Structure 1
Amino acid sequence: MLRVQNKRRAKRQNMEESNMKAKKIISLLLALALVVSLFAACGGDGKGSSSQAENSSDESNQTESTGGESSEGEAESTGKVDGGGYEVNYMYLVAQEGTNQNKVNEAVAALAEKELNMKVNMIPMTFGTLNSQLSMMLAAGEPLDIFPAFSSNFSTYIESQYVVNLAPYLDDLQGAKEVLGSDFDCGYLGDFFIGLGQMKERGYPAGLVVRKDIFEELGYKVEDFNITTDDYSSFDQIGDMFAKVKEKHPDMICLDGTSIMGTQDLSYMDNMGSNFGVLENYGQTTEITNWFEGEQWRTFCEIAQEWFKAGYLSQDIAVNQDGGETKLKAGNCFSFITNVKPNTDIEKLAQTGYEVSVIQMGEAMKNTNAVNSMLFAVANAAEDPQKAAQFLNWTYTSQEFNDLINWGIEGEDWVLTDDGLASYPDGVDATSVGYHNDFGFVYPNQFAGHPWAGNPTDIWEQYDVYNEGITTSKAYGFTFDSTPVANEEAQLNSVVEQYRKDLAFGVVDDLDAKIKEFNDALYAAGLQTVMDEKQKQFNEWLEKQ
């Protein structure tokens, strides 16, 4: 039986509305492409004025249960029952669809039926398929209960009534709230509760990942390095190391990949959902400034220019599309820069085939983006949002569920070792396994599941300690609503695309002139307007704290 929402949507076929829908889809696709690429590189941004969120919340509450008129009290209504219970359409990310995908789907369905009396239709998506299909599915109102929502689209999702406001269902999310702690509240955009983040690291400091064999061949230890933004001359330690690598291995590229200090959006400042107005000094200020004309960004560009002119960087690094992991794996790259965390060395060994050492390049900072860059949201197409919320809550508390979606079928795709780690069964490896993701950073609660072999047995405890010890931005909990400045941000993104990489990687000749040209273009595209709007919303948020 078709939902009322879909019937009404089907009747809207005049040309003006069709064109508007097409524009929304195109906008969503562009935003998804940007955020998915960033999120994938991290492992592994948010947006909200109270008035806009309240209006969107009211509109969503009118349609979230049936697609027609309802009230918040109708959150208690029961949706369609399929067999023994409600059927949840659950979308989640996978590295690739393995040969045992159907077995995993069946195992999750059996588990949910046993523990929740619910049925589950699993919808696995790679980053690529999510980027191309999610927007279309939401716009068409296709069957979907739970899906991964990226922060660049929050305002659009609310305005388009693609997501349910979960605020009426907080009682059904208490298990997840206990797991997430204070990070639970980062799911709000104003008064609209969009969804739940993942249990993972809460800070993304920049780090230099180096080949351990060459690093030790040159007599280095990680303890020899103390890279800090309190003293930019400390970055000379890296330049001196590159010089020794070049001397010992003349044909080796010292640094390659797609990242450098000036592109590390999550590391040195709180970008508050976009780079157009930030809180510098790891978010330890309340004044929004333009990072691209500040001393720090200029210094990073100057350091990169020195490295580029010295021949330490790949000559095509500013246009290269291959990540550092790919470059290191190819065998002629010494290092790359990425976001690091407690077990980066284990992760990169699996990704590159080389043992690596990790040199942190600054402090770790916790901000809202670290929590809500991706949230599990309930789609407005859900037949029963309350039951969808109950299922979502369960995904944060079930060890078996998190192991299933990450490692696959126990006994076939993985076994439990004597020390409590997950590992390949005898005779199975990465090339022959039927299902294996190692995608805990995009799953509800990897801490509930088993760590993979090679990690310390106490890795989740290490994450807890790490998360508790990092610097917290003064804007932690604030989510910027970019709706009033959407046109300006679109133009600003085009400017950044034109200038930033050449400057950040130091491949330009006249750095001063090019930085000025870049900033002139930013202000001409509306940067000051965005910064003023962001400061206004932030000040209003601060007054309520």
Structure 2
Amino acid sequence: MKTTAGRRFFLIGGGVMLLAAAGWLLLSLNHWTFPSPGASGGPAPAASLAEDTIVMMFPSGSYPRDFPLVQAEINRYVSSKINARVDIRLVERGVWWEKTGLLFASGQQVDLMFTAGWMRYADEVAKGRFLPLDDLLANYGQDILKTLNPSVIDAGRINGKIYGIGTNKEFASSKGLVLRRDLADKYGIDLSSIRRLEELGPVFRTIKENEPGVVPLQVRADRSPFTFLMQYGLFDMLGDGPGVLDRNDPSMTVVNLPETEAFARYARIMYEWNQAGYLNEDAVTNKDPEFEAVKAGRAFAYAESLKPGFDRQASRDTGMPMTAISLTRPFTTTADTTSAMFAITRNARHPEKAMMFLNLLFKDKYLLNLLNWGIEGKHYIKKSDNVIDYPPGIDAKNVGYNLNQPWMFGNQLNSYLWANEDPDLWDRYRKFNEEAEKSRALGFVFNPDSVKTEIAACLLVDKEFLPAINTGALDPDRTIPMYLEKLKAAGAEKVIREKQRQLNAWLASRNAGGGAP
């Protein structure tokens, strides 16, 4: 039984039933969501009955203490702009798929939903979960169209229609780690010369031997140095399902990732580090953001996708001085241009207002920064027109609003910069985007519809094997052959052939049109 304010949940005959004071019996999906105001999906409060309520949903690693205050201010402001309220629902990342799967099955309202190329975007479109946005964008998204490069908008197209609107941010990344600078300095560790993952082994050994209670490397089953290198670090994943391109291979041959030498090599490194005790013991099951362990003084380093200024962002998130080490060159893929998007779902009740709100996040600097950083004077103070800092007595560890997801919303280049950040950061973002190596398959979007059964079967195999491989929990020399055998039985080769067929057709159309592949 789970009790929340004003509600009791009972498990009866395998179903979850909600007994409310009014006696209504409703299906509840919200026990997997952080407790946010208005998250029941029920009637709006009486004061707002004349307004449309937009439901916005996105994954978050935490539920900020002052989130209700910020949402109330968002609603006060948005009501004056588009006569609407926004019911923002934060969903724990670890239960995102269970939550959203039940949501679509039940028909529960959600207007705006976060999506991304790395979050099964094409598969969600193939399932019919998102609405085409071309007309809505043309009618209500003028500021989006003014802000985003047409190539970024086109990256959200599948079968000629737009289903997701990307955030205006960096469109490239390098893969690496962020580490506590204070401990590196304490032990005279030179991080500036490290270029390969294996070179971090001696660093982690030093921390392990000298800092009891501090985990050298904090990882999760879905986030480790291994996952970052495999997924868009050394390879272009080409969308959902098996089949990748080696970024250094010009042949444009789609290969099975677990069969590559790099997969086995880096899996062995993770296994060696796990055996040496360099990783957190709950690596396979832990779902908390890695920076939280550093923030609590329990960890030294974690893996990330890097971009200009990320070391300062990590320092702000953890409350400790952090240093970033890049292990790959900056790389732009279709997944990077679709790495943070919002879609309007088939369950939307107010698609027009949803697009209006999304447009505001590109146009309205006050609203964007309210969502990003909270309320001025309480959660931050302005040092200048575009620079903020914590109020006196407040820091990253005790601030009441620490969503820390500015990369997710609207025009990030309108977001305030923190006092410890480079004031030229947004110019560095633009240069970073321009100079990054471009994938030979940039712009290719795989349509998984014809092999969705095989992809679903392969995903189940991934869930069985990858958590242990990603965290080095099992010997890869024994585990990878079993993983490959089950992938083959699930239809991986059929998916790879289909990716190759679609990629070849895309290349042919590009060449026919005079575009370089």
TM-score tier (shorter): 0.7 to 0.9
The 1-side partners of 2:277 and 2:63 are apart by 37
Matched, 1:493 2:459: yes
Is 1:175 aligned to 2:143, yes or no? yes
Q: Does 1:214 align with 2:183?
A: yes
Unaligned runs of 5+ in 1: 1-28, 37-81, 228-234
How far apart are 1:440 and its partner, in Å? 0.6
The one of 485, 491, 505 equivalent to 1:520 is 485
Q: Deviations over 1:384-404 (max 9, x none)?
A: 645543443332122112112
Alignment of 1:138-153 (within 5 A): 138-139=104-105, 141-142=107-108, 144-151=110-117, 152=119
Query: Does the CA contact (< 8 Å) of 1:195 and 1:375 recur in 2?
Result: yes
Q: Does 1:398 align with 2:364?
A: yes
Of 107, 122, 144, the residue aligned with 2:86 is 122
Q: State the secondary structure of the residue aligned to 1:337.
A: strand
Quick check: 1:104–1:408 contact (8 Å CA) kept in 2? no
Contact 1:283/1:474 (<8 A) preserved: no
- 2:195 equivalent to 1:226: yes
| CA shift in 2, pair 1:209/1:136, >3 Å | same
Greater fraction helix: 1
Q: 1:12-411, aligned counterparts within 5 Å? A: 87=52, 89-93=54-58, 95-96=62-63, 98-99=65-66, 101=68, 104-111=71-78, 113-114=80-81, 118-128=82-92, 134-139=100-105, 141-142=107-108, 144-151=110-117, 152=119, 154=121, 157-158=124-125, 161-172=128-139, 173-181=141-149, 182-227=151-196, 235-246=197-208, 248-249=210-211, 253-258=215-220, 259-264=223-228, 265-274=231-240, 276-281=242-247, 285-314=251-280, 317-318=283-284, 320-380=286-346, 382=348, 385-386=351-352, 388-411=354-377
- Residues of 2 paired with 1:267 and 1:534: CA distance? 20
Q: C-alpha deviations, 1:204-240, integer Å up to 9, x for none?
A: 432122221221223234322233xxxxxxx442223
Deviation at 1:263, TM superposition (A): 2.0
Closer/same/farther in 2, CA of residues 468 and 335 from structure 1, 3 Å limit: same
Q: 2-side partners of 1:87 and 1:297: how far apart? A: 50
Are 2:51 and 2:85, in contact at CA under 8 Å, matched by a contact in 1? no
CA offsets, 1:239-284, max 9 Å, x none? Answer: 2333444555577543332243432223221112235100112685
3-state SS of paired residue (2:235): coil
Question: What amino acid does structure 2 have at the position aligned with 1:475?
Answer: A
* Structure with a larger share of its residues in strand: 2
Q: Is the 8 A contact 2:194 2:325 kept in 1?
A: yes
The runs of 5 or more residues in structure 2 that have no matched partner are: 1-28, 34-46, 511-517
The answer (yes or no) to whether the contact 1:267–1:282 under 8 Å persists in 2 is no
**1:433/1:375 CA distance change after superposition, 3 Å:** same
Who is 1:483 aligned against?
449
In structure 1, give the amino acid aligned to 2:408. V
Please tell me the residue identity of whatever aligns with 1:522.
Answer: L
Q: Percent identity?
A: 26
Aligned length: 456
Seen in structure 2, the aligned counterparts of structure 1 residues 389 and 305 have a Cα distance that, compared at 3 Å, is closer
Relative distance call for 1:130 and 1:532 in structure 2 (3 A) is closer
Q: TM-score, normalised by structure 1?
A: 0.73
- Does structure 1 retain, via aligned residues, the 8 Å contact 2:319–2:395? no
Per-residue Cα deviation, 1:168-222 (whole angstroms, up to 9, x for no partner) = 3453334213322121211111212102011233234321222212212232343
CA distance in structure 1 between the aligned counterparts of 2:207 and 2:393, rounded to whole angstroms = 39
Alignment-mate amino acid for residue 202 of structure 1: F
Q: Take 1:320 and 1:386, find their aligned partners in 2: how far apart are those partners? A: 39
Q: TM-score, normalised by structure 2?
A: 0.77
Q: Secondary structure at the match of 2:244?
A: coil
Equivalent residue, structure 2, for 1:19:
none
Are the counterparts in 1 of residues 120 and 240 from structure 2 also a CA contact under 8 Å?
A: no
RMSD of equivalent CA atoms: 3.5
Q: Which amino acid aligns with 2:235?
A: M
Q: Deviations over 1:28-65 (max 9, x none)?
A: x9xxx9xx9xxxxxxxxxxxxxxxxxxxxxxxxxxxxx
Shifted more, 426-435 versus 360-369: the winner is: 426-435
Instruction: Report SS of the residue matched to 2:192.
Output: helix
How far residue 131 of structure 1 moved from its aligned partner, in angstroms, is 5.4
Secondary structure of the equivalent of 1:377?
Answer: strand
Match of 1:542 in 2: 507
